[in-house]
Amino acid sequence: MTEAYPHLSVMELGPGEPAPVGAGWVAVAGLAAGGADLDTFLAWDSAQVQSDYGQRARPDVVASFGLHRYAWPACLLFTMPWFLLRRVPRFPVEHVSFQRTLGRMAVRVGEFACLPGDPAATLPGARVVPDEDALRAEVRAAVAEHMEPVLGGFGPRMRRRGRALWGMATDEIVEGLWYVAQLLGEERRAMAELERLLPGATRPYVGTAAFRELTGPSGNALTTRDRASCCFFYTVDPEDTCANCPRNCDAVRIEKLTAAAAC
């Protein structure tokens, strides 16, 4: 993971090794519980908005920011091994801890799915599935197993339920892998893989990978996607939304994507 994306390091805990505590670490099961651990986690997001923008964000907006900042790297725990190694680990929330300021995660490795012929198929915890379709189903199931309790913890703070929450999870799956694949020079392969992973009607996920192309001012192709959710950043700074913000019309998307490409 760290080789592919140096801003996130993942530590595998050995048998019987305790999960890290203190120094900014939080057990993800604590976030899912929706109590004091989540209060502390979201206080960081609230303070960050106050520091960077000189204003207080609404509590539901703060919770949306907090979920994004956890779910984006968390989804990579599943999508990156699938994309690079064709292996899909299972990480229930009880097996993951997170240190947000250092970009670190600690995981307890157990079961994982792989394809026939994978050298790892003989390792403890390996479960061989017949083909690529089955492996994609494993990705969807593994992410859902992890994210369902997390969404349950954050949801009441965000004042969202059901489809709206799973729309956010869908966006994190797509946009995390899409971004890292660009760093690896494999954007097009990742887009194709994500379209097969999320073709639509794959509940609880919402919609498809939803990529599409726009035409830039020089006739160049600009890739965008139609997000299934909104993070509400526009309530803090309406002029600095991301290019793919669902509030942006295509003209604004083209302007923002063109400016980003020129940097």
Per-domain residue ranges for the chain? 9-209, 210-263
pLDDT at residue number 239: 86
pTM of the model: 0.95
pLDDT at residue number 3: 74
pLDDT at residue number 5: 81
Identify whether the C-beta of residue 231 lies closer than 8 Å to the C-beta of residue 68.
Answer: yes
pLDDT at residue number 51: 95
Helix boundaries (H) for 34-115: 36-53, 59-85
pLDDT at residue number 47: 96
pLDDT at residue number 257: 94
Phi, psi (5° rounding) for residue 88?
Answer: -125, 105
DSSP state letters, 137-175: HHHHHHHHHHHHHHHHHHHHHHT--HHHHHHHHHHHHHH
Count CB neighbours of 139 within 10 A: 21
* pLDDT, tens digit only, all 263 positions of the chain: 677 788 899 999 998 899 999 999 999 999 999 999 999 999 999 999 999 999 999 999 999 999 999 999 999 999 999 999 999 999 999 999 999 999 999 999 999 999 999 999 999 999 999 999 999 999 999 999 999 999 999 999 999 899 999 999 999 999 999 999 999 999 999 999 999 999 998 999 999 999 999 999 999 999 999 999 988 889 999 888 889 999 999 999 999 999 988 87
pLDDT at residue number 134: 98
pLDDT at residue number 15: 87
Between helices 162-183 and 59-85, what is the axis angle to 10°? 50
